[in-house]
Structure 1
Amino acid sequence: MTSLRSALTRLFAEAGSEGFVHVRDLDTGAETGHGADTRVVLASVFKIPIALEYARQAADGRLDPAARHTVTAAYRAGGSGTDGCAHDVEMSTRDLAFMMMTISDNAATDLLLDVVGADRVRGTLDGLGFEGFGVSSCRDLDDTIRRELGLDPDRSLDDQLAGVPPERLAALSVGDPARSPSSTPREVTALLAALWRDEAGPARACAEVRGLMGQQVWQHRLVSGFPENGVRIAGKTGTDFVVRNEAGVVEYPDGGRYAVGVFLRTASPADRQPAADRAIGRAARAVVDHLRSRQDGLRRF
């Protein structure tokens, strides 16, 4: 265990970051980690419980997955998916969840959060025992950034960030777990375990969230650590200036299933940090390999 922690510390340092990680075997309950109880900024990882609340309400018949909603300019701030569209976009409730989880569409996230109710998301998390798991709208986080930097509230945030010094971006409250939606790596993997064991809601709801996470398009973080054919990964990334994360589940052909969360705080707020992205995959692989090596009777992949 000491050698694993030393290896992870070196790995994160080489990527110019500080990292925290936790992994748990979904079937045996075995677990290991590095800074697993440290509070970390979730960034878009907080979209997982929003998807869960949507799926629970759909499974219970409280909302119609096919109901139509319009992503208007009130939700769009620039970014992936409908968030960067020039004109209004209409789609179903289910497709809002799909856009949120597959490409991390912030506009779809905020509209879906309005549909399901932020209070209901909070109530579900608390009822499941995840009182420390933070959630927010993307709009509220963007407004906080504008206030802290003194930016025009009526202009695109992205258009105004180009000239902001890196040190000011690194000091924003969205990168501080005491002032932004946060959790711990251990709590995040516990939520994933509840989803994969059908303990977070009706089995149909949990299966829908798993399916959405399995369609995430980003392949540069967790996936980079598990390139072998036959290994399945379902995950959700999170990125915000000095924050780079991914949480998900790795499933091996021999039946081994592992919930893993890797959370990085980087030295730079630069958009492109391939070394940090690769470090997430390498760290996930290291802790999963360590856990698998301790399990008797597993076929080695």
Structure 2
Amino acid sequence: MRDIKSEINVLAARLGGCVSVAVRDIKNAFDFSYNDTERVWSASVIKVPVLVEACKRLADGSATRDMEFELQAEGRAPGSGLLRYMHPGTKITYEDLMLLMITVSDNHATNMLINYLTPKAITQTMKGFGYAGTEVQREIYDYEGMRRGEYNWIAAGEIADLCKRIYCRQAAGGEFDDLALQIMSRQCSKTLLRLYLPDEVCVANKP
């Protein structure tokens, strides 16, 4: 364990900035933490808490998989995804927004979900899990929010624990965690973690 931390120290020194690593073994055979309580800006990993909150709404019956959202002409989020190129008036189901958000990291799908779920509710769910470092304050690429000092935050240890909760059916609950896991296993990005694992290994992740 000490050797792993030493190697990470060397790599972190070369990279600069803040480096966090968290491993949570499903069978509790091996956990590893390196700076994993440090609160950092989230980038696309914040989409995992959004996914969990979206699944919780299905679990409590306040949302349905086939409920529809209409794509508007204005407010398209830049960056990754497909929705920003689609025609105004296109209708997308709730479940398809979840799928697009995770599998192709669609920023506009993410914003449509954040707008529906609300940043406050997503954050409250994370606080309910005991996560002090995970917080949604704004939509993706919300420049006005950034100017107000609003950012989305995560801690590596909390996200690792959240992924473990999903696998153990303890995040959204039962079949709805299964849905989250299924969506994450359809990830289109084959880089990073997926790149170095054998093809027969099933990976459910969000780069």
TM-score (norm 1): 0.62
Tell me the distance in 1 between the aligned counterparts of 2:143 and 2:189.
22
SS in structure 2 opposite 1:51?
A: helix
SS in structure 2 opposite 1:199?
A: coil
| Alpha-carbon shift at residue 80 of structure 1 (Å) | 2.5
Match of 1:4 in 2: 4
Equivalent residues of 1:96, 1:109 under 8 A apart: yes
Match of 2:71 in 1: 71
| Alpha-carbon shift at residue 112 of structure 1 (Å) | 1.4
C-alpha RMSD over aligned residues? 2.4
For residue 48 of structure 1, what is the amino acid of its counterpart?
V
Tell me the distance in 1 between the aligned counterparts of 2:5 and 2:95.
41
Tell me the distance in 2 between the aligned counterparts of 1:180 and 1:117.
14
Deviations 1:252-295 (CA, angstroms, capped at 9, x unpaired):
xxxxxxxxxxxxxxxxxxxxxxxxxxxxxxxxxxxxxxxxxxxx
1:113–1:34 Cα change, 3 Å = same
Seq. identity, % = 25
- Which of structure 1's runs of 4+ aligned residues deviate more than 4 A? 12-18
Structure 1 residue 127 and structure 2 residue 98: aligned?
no
Choose between structure 1 and 2: higher strand proportion.
1
| Alpha-carbon shift at residue 60 of structure 1 (Å) | 2.7
Tell me the distance in 1 between the aligned counterparts of 2:37 and 2:175.
31
Equivalent residues of 1:22, 1:32 under 8 A apart: yes
SS in structure 2 opposite 1:22?
A: strand
1:184–1:235 Cα change, 3 Å = same
Tell me the distance in 1 between the aligned counterparts of 2:54 and 2:193.
25
TM-score (norm 2): 0.87
Match of 2:46 in 1: 46
Equivalent residues of 2:25, 2:31 under 8 A apart: yes
For residue 222 of structure 1, what is the amino acid of its counterpart?
L
For residue 232 of structure 1, what is the amino acid of its counterpart?
C
| Alpha-carbon shift at residue 133 of structure 1 (Å) | 0.9
| Alpha-carbon shift at residue 214 of structure 1 (Å) | 0.9
Tell me the distance in 1 between the aligned counterparts of 2:92 and 2:25.
37
Query: Where does 1:203-282 land on structure 2 (aligned, <5 Å)?
Result: 203-226=174-197, 228-237=198-207
Equivalent residues of 2:77, 2:111 under 8 A apart: no
In structure 1, runs of 5+ residues without a counterpart are 149-172, 174-178, 238-301
Structure 1 residue 197 and structure 2 residue 168: aligned?
yes
Match of 1:288 in 2: none
| Alpha-carbon shift at residue 16 of structure 1 (Å) | 6.7
Match of 1:157 in 2: none
Match of 1:102 in 2: 103
Equivalent residues of 2:126, 2:135 under 8 A apart: no
Tell me the distance in 2 between the aligned counterparts of 1:236 and 1:192.
10
1:222–1:202 Cα change, 3 Å = same
Tell me the distance in 2 between the aligned counterparts of 1:48 and 1:38.
18
1:74–1:46 Cα change, 3 Å = same
